Amino acid sequence: MEIPPKSPDGSEKSPQSKELLTSNTASTLCISSRSESVWTSTSRSKWDIYHKPVIVVSVGAAVFLFGIVITSLSCFQIKNKNVYKMCGPAFLSLGLMLLVCGLVWIPIIRKKQKQRQKSQFLQSLKSFFFNR
């Protein structure tokens, strides 16, 4: 029967078990969670709430317009006509995809905001009735 080697600090645990004991996986998961607590009732500005979909819609619209310009350039007599014919529709579809995703994202955020307000209201009612 082999005796496991002692670590430099004198404990008899193997290095593998030491790594498992010092692992902070659970705390790391809790810290990196993006969900907001129901107990935080800080009011956020409209820009804080809607900035991501607005940026996606803006970039989508810009790429879509760029695709229109590139596609229209393929109608004129230019040296690299085949390149414009290939890239134009690609930019059109990419821009349209981003534009639609951003436009669909906005009502989803509105719905979540309403649900969060209802949840906070119900939590305040619970705390009012159960903390008497």
Does a structural domain hold residue 69? yes
Domain that holds residue 74: 65-105
Q: Which of 61, 26, 49 is nearest to 105 (CA)?
A: 49
* Sequence-separated (6 or more) residues with CB below 8 Å from residue 50: 106, 109
Give the amino acid at 127. Answer: S
- Its pTM stands at 0.59
CB 107 within 8 A of CB 101: no
| Number of domains observed in the structure of the chain | 1
pLDDT of 62 = 97
3-state SS assignment for residue 44: coil
Say if residues 105 and 53 touch (Cβ distance below 8 Å).
yes
Average pLDDT over the chain, rounded to whole? 77
Residues of the chain with pLDDT below 70 are: 1-42, 77, 132
